[in-house]
Structure formats: structure tokens, C-alpha cells
Structure 1
Amino acid sequence: MRKVNFKNRDWDIIGNLHFPENFDYKKKYPAIVCVHPGSSVKEQTAGLYAAQLAKNGFIALAFDASFQGDSGGKPRFLEDPATRVEDIRCAIDYLTTLLFVDNDRIGAMGVCAGGGYAANASISEKRIKAIVSVAGTNASRAFREASPIEVLKAVAQQRTAEAGGSEKLINNWIPDSAEDAKKSGLEEMDLLGAIDYYRTPRGQHPNSTNQLLFTSMSNLIMFDAFHLAEYFLTQPLLIIVGDKVGAFGSYRDGFELYNKAASANKKIHVVKGADHYDLYDKPNATNEALEQMVPFFLDNL
């Protein structure tokens, strides 16, 4: 693995480039862009899949989104879907400059919101030849279902306050502990799974700070990751979801994308007994996902 950097506009995006075993600079390899979830960083689940894809013969690039982790850009902790999609395009730009990457064999995979962003990028970015979504979500759908008008009004008020000199408002993505969630009456399976992954030693990373710039919410609410997929998402598509259905909606979103995509070659695989966060790092679930993903990329890149 090698740390790399590339540009999105005038700031640096920092990534980890994973290499196959017995890598040979004189050869050409297929490459996969691995896109992390919201609130995540490259060392977490996207990096796990990148490392495993590299073991199976791919160049795999996991990177921190703009405004987050080791990557640059201001304001910090902004989750801007349009910029997240542009990050993917910039990652592909970078891969095409590497002499050992076959530019005609570049794929994309993403986890959770990263799956939605990878799908959205593929709608217009035809250098992506195949897409895999793991527990992928259309993140804006979840936010649109939770009092969106009131949230948009609150964002408007906050922007006015910040224009007048107030400090930026930064909230937590999720409660910091299961105890905090329970005290607030938020004992939902996916939320507790997120806390267990992000806020405990299981998956915790110091760069995954659980901080979200509140004004991001207007961008999240208005962005539809699957917009126009029925016309322009034509590449081979593999969707992987667990059958333990929680509130974050990856099961529902997976089937929506599957039904909507214009791809002639598309498949949805349901991992039995797995919930959303099992597909982040639990060996039984991730191994089954990889058993589907690796042959899919080998066949389509």
C-alpha cells in the first residue's frame, strides 16, 4: 500500500493505493475506486474492501472525501454529495495517469452512502466500466423522510447567523454511545450498529470524528443519488445487501436501484442473516460480498 494524493479543484485528496501481490510496474492492471460511507474514512470499511480487492489482482484506491479525514478543503466536516461525486471523478483522473493502470478497466465500489455516490458518478462518468454497491444507500432519501422542511428552515436560519458572524454549527452524525442513544429513545438496529462500528474499538479511527457541518443538511436533502439512473446507468451493476432490514434503508434502496438502473447486466445479491453494518467488517458477511464482487469485476473489467 502507498499513500497518494491528487487534486479536487485546489485542494488535495489523500488516498491509500493498494497493490496486488507480486505487483509488476511493467504490467497493466484493472483498478477499482473504493468509496467510503458518510462519516467514514479510508482506513475503515472502504479500505478493508480495497485491501481484499488488491489481493485478488486489482489496483484499489480508497481515499478520504473532500473536507474530511486527511483530505483538504474547507469548510471542514462538510458532506456535499456533488463534491463527493466529483471526488470519484478526480480519483479516476488520477488512476489514468498511472502507467500500470488499464484505463479501459476501471470500476467503482462503495459502501453505504458511498454506494449511492458510486452509482451516481457512474450515471455520467463512463470511464467507470462496472459498479458494485455494498449496503448502498440513497442517503438523501433518509434525510428527506425526517421533517425535511423544518430542517431546511433551520439550515436557512443557521446560514443567516453564520453570515452575521456566528460560529459554524457542527453536530454529531450519530450518538457517541449506545447509552446516549437509549436515553434518547433511539434503540434502532442500524443506529446501534453504527455506534458499535464507529464509536467503539471495532471500527473506530481517530480521523472518523463523528462531526457533520449542519448546513450540509440542505445538500443532503436535495440530492437524489439515483436520479436519471433509468436512462444513463448502463454499466454492469452488482448490488449487495443484507436481509436484516433496518431504518437506514439499504435493503430498500438496493432494490430501488436494481429496478431503476438501465443496465442490461445487473444483479442483486442478498446476504442471509446480515445487517447493514455486518457488511462493513464482519468476516462472514464481507467474505460473501467479496465472493460475489471479485468474479463480477473480473468478468466486467
Structure 2
Amino acid sequence: MLMISKIIRTFIMSTICMATSIIASAQNKTDNPFGLVYKDAINENIQGKVNIHPVNYYLNGIKIAANVYTPANYDPSKSYPAVVIAHPNGGVKEQVAGLYAQRLAELGYITIAADASYQGASGGEPRNVDKPANRIEDIRGMADYITQYAGVNAEKLGLLGVCGGGGYSLAAAQTDKRFKAVATLSMFNSGLVRRNGFMDSQLSTIQERLKQASDARAQEAAGGEVLYTANAKTTDEQADKMPFDLYREGHYYYNRTHAHPNSTFRYTTSSLLDLMAFDTSTNMALINQPLLMMAGSKADTYYMTEDAFSKATGTTEKELYLIPGATHIQTYYVVEYVNQAMDKLSVFFSKFL
């Protein structure tokens, strides 16, 4: 166990949550006019089919880049349910969030996926600030925008969060009751992992890392260089030696098969001051909305979903669904597992929206 902990620490310190600094290269350039990198993504807007609409709006002075997906034969004079989709840590709207946004639009929902503030194509300086309060506010901001979109029935608003976006979606839904139904896929409790390490592998270094974060903030305040965590580039050989599926498969998803130039897992070291004090499961009892939490049956992150779900005592409508045979990352793109997740989402949202 000690040896595994050392291996984990080595990789997590340089590659936290599949971390890498993705550099635009031949492997991650996309020919899709909308920048989408998922399978069967929309290449052009065709009348009578699902369409995608790149939009911008301002949230607390920061310009947000988002994609709105409208159903086939969308008529702005009609009334549609809507779903907000929050992307994983380090991910962008063109990856798994976009995939599920498109698939839900195919079912008749107006959906929105936005890049988090300070990340992706959204504004905010310094780049890659990653604070829970920002991510939660981003979700609320998507709700602000989409409920004013032509044709959206604001009383039928759902929320879907993936990975880190799932943890922040739970936190947002605890207080924001505009969301009438809440779903997560492969939920990742960012604060818990940043504090304790994946599977509690970094408990012995909590104070050390808090000191590093404090020093980084002091350096920023003095006008010095902004320091980043998870700013290393990972090779395939290094990834293959990672002890957990999450990191190993995440490397290939984000750096190879579904790479996007705007996606990077680096974040300002000073962000840890906020991240390490956060835990999405703290106020789970405040969720009184219908709740669906999905995870792969083989996901090594499942313990986070299980913990949060057990604390959701404020709702009488909740379901925990395990996708047979799936790991965490496989729920992002493997057709068989995506279809199973979509089948559950279809029933869930049609019932409660």
C-alpha cells in the first residue's frame, strides 16, 4: 500500500485528475466547424434537425462561451424543457458535455453547455483559476441564460453534471431551486480529492500542499508569477504505469482520442485554498429535487457517488444507477455506455420535467 501511495503521489502531483498541459498540435486540432470532438457531432446546422448555436454572455463581468443545442424543428414560439450541462474538471464544452447536450436535444430538450469562467474559450484572468464558487456560479449563469432563451419553459429546467461538473451541480442544486431535476454522471468530488488525494492517497501531505497554495497566493499578491499545479505533460508510457483507470484512461481520452486545444487540467496553485476546503457532500440534505446519480460499475471514482448519494436525505425521489461494465472515463464516449446513460436520463427527465 505504501508503494502504491508513492506512485499515486508522484503522478497526482504532476497529473491531478488526468492532468496535462495540452499544447495545440496535429493530434488535437479539429476539423469540426464548431470545434466538437465527440462521435457523430453536428458538422452543420440543417433545417429540421438538431442545431447548435454558439453564444456568448457575461457573468459577473466575465465573457462566457457556450453552445446552445435546439431540438429538431425547433420553433421559438413553442415551449420546451431545458437542461444545463456542466463539464468535467479541465474539460470543455466540445467534449463529453457537448455529446450529452446533443443527445438530449435529440430527445426534445433545449440544452446548454458552457466553458467554465477562467477556462476554455471563456474569459477571466489569470487563466485556469479553478475555484468551487466560480464553477457553481457558472452553473447558475447557464440557468440565467437558458431560461431567457426563446421557447424555454423555465419551470421545466433540468441539470446534468459530469465528473467534476457533477460535484458542482450537486452543490448548485442544494440552494438553486430553479433546477427541478438533477442528474450526475461519474460524479467527482473535486474538493475531497484535492484535499485528501484520490482514494485518500495524500492525507500525509495536506498541510504541505496548503502551505504551497498559501505561498502561491502571496506571490500573486506581490505581482509575481502565477504558479500552476498539474502543469506537466504526460507521456503514454507514464500514463500506462498509472495505478488507477481514472488517470490512465483519462490521459488517452483528453490527450489522444478526444483532445481539444482549449482543454487543460492545469489550475492555479492558489486555487487549492478554496478547493481543499470544499466538499460537495457537505449539504446534500438540502437537495429536495428528484435526483439521479449514475456511475460505471467498474469506476474507481464510484466511492464519491456512493457517499454523496447516501447523504441526499432531503429528497424522496432518488436513484443510484450503475452502468454495467463501465469505468469512469468510458461513460464519456463508449457508445454502449452512453446509450445506457441516455436511456436513464430520458426516463428521468421526461418524468420530472
TM-score (norm 2): 0.80
| Residue 136 (1) aligns with residue 187 (2) | yes
2:159 corresponding residue in structure 1: 108
Q: Which residue of the partner structure matches residue 191 of structure 1?
A: 247
Contact 2:212 2:269 in 1 (8 A): no
Are 1:5 and 2:56 an aligned pair? Answer: yes
Q: Give the distance between the partners of 1:225 and 1:46, measured in 2 at CA.
A: 20
Is 1:243 aligned with 2:294? Answer: no
Shift of 1:173: 6.1
- Note the alpha carbon deviations across 1:109-137, whole angstroms, 9 max, x for none: 01001011111100000000001100011
Q: Percent identity?
A: 36
Distance 1:289 1:260 in 2: 22
Distance in 1 (CA, whole Å) between partners of 2:224 and 2:237 is 31
Match for 2:346 among 270, 294, 300?
Answer: 294
Contact 1:177 1:199 in 2 (8 A): no
CA drift at 1:38: 0.5
1:223 aligns with 2:274: no
The CA deviation at 1:180 is: 2.9
Is 1:51 aligned to 2:109, yes or no? no
Question: What are the superposed Cα offsets for residues 93-123 of structure 1, whole Å, 9 maximum, x if unpaired?
Answer: 1122123000100010010010111111000
Matched residue of 1:12: which SS?
strand
Instruction: Encode CA deviations 1:241-261: one digit per residue, 9 max, x unaligned.
Output: 011132xx2x11111122111
1:36 to 2:87 alignment:
yes
Provide the C-alpha distance between the structure 2 equivalents of 1:98 and 1:180, rounded to a whole number of angstroms: 45
8 A Cα contact 2:72 2:106, kept in partner:
yes
Is the aligned partner of 1:258 residue 2:299?
Answer: no
- In the TM superposition, 1:162-173 aligns within 5 A as 162-172=220-230
3-state DSSP class of the match of 1:165? Answer: coil
Q: Alpha carbons of 1:270 and 1:120: their partners in 2 closer, same or farther (altered >3 Å)?
A: same
The letter of the residue matching 2:213 is: V
> Aligned in 2, Cα 1:219/1:121: closer, same or farther, shift over 3 Å?
same
CA distance in 2, matches of 1:161, 1:96: 41
1:71-82 correspondence runs (5 A): 71-82=122-133
Tell me if 1:180 matches 2:238.
yes
The residue identity in structure 1 corresponding to 2:161 is: G
**Contact 2:89–2:265 (Cα < 8 Å) also in 1:** no
Scaled by the length of structure 1, what TM-score is found? 0.94
RCO (CA 8 Å, sep 6+): is it higher in 1 or 2?
Answer: 2
* Whole-Å separation in 1 of the counterparts to 2:171 and 2:142: 15
Return the offset for 1:217. Answer: 1.6
Query: Which residue in 2 is equivalent to 1:15?
Result: 66
Q: Tell me how far apart the structure 1 counterparts of residues 59 and 169 of structure 2 sit (CA, whole Å).
A: 16
Rounded Cα–Cα distance in structure 1 between residues aligned with 2:83 and 2:292: 14
Q: Which residue of 1 aligns with 2:7?
A: none
- Amino acid of the residue matched to residue 287 of structure 2? L
Unaligned runs of 5+ in 1: none
Q: Which residue of 1 aligns with 2:25?
A: none
Structure 1 segments, 4+ long, off by >4 Å, are none
| 3-state SS, counterpart of residue 222 of structure 1 | coil
Structure 1 position 219, deviation (Å): 1.4
- Equivalent residues of 2:65, 2:122 under 8 A apart: yes
CA distance in 1, matches of 2:281, 2:183: 14
Unaligned segments of structure 2, at least 5 residues? 1-51, 197-201
| 2:323 aligned residue | 271
Q: Shift of residue 83 of structure 1?
A: 0.9
Q: How many residues are aligned here?
A: 294
Distance change (3 Å), C-alpha of 1:298 and 1:173: farther
Which is worse superposed, 203-212 or 48-57?
A: 203-212
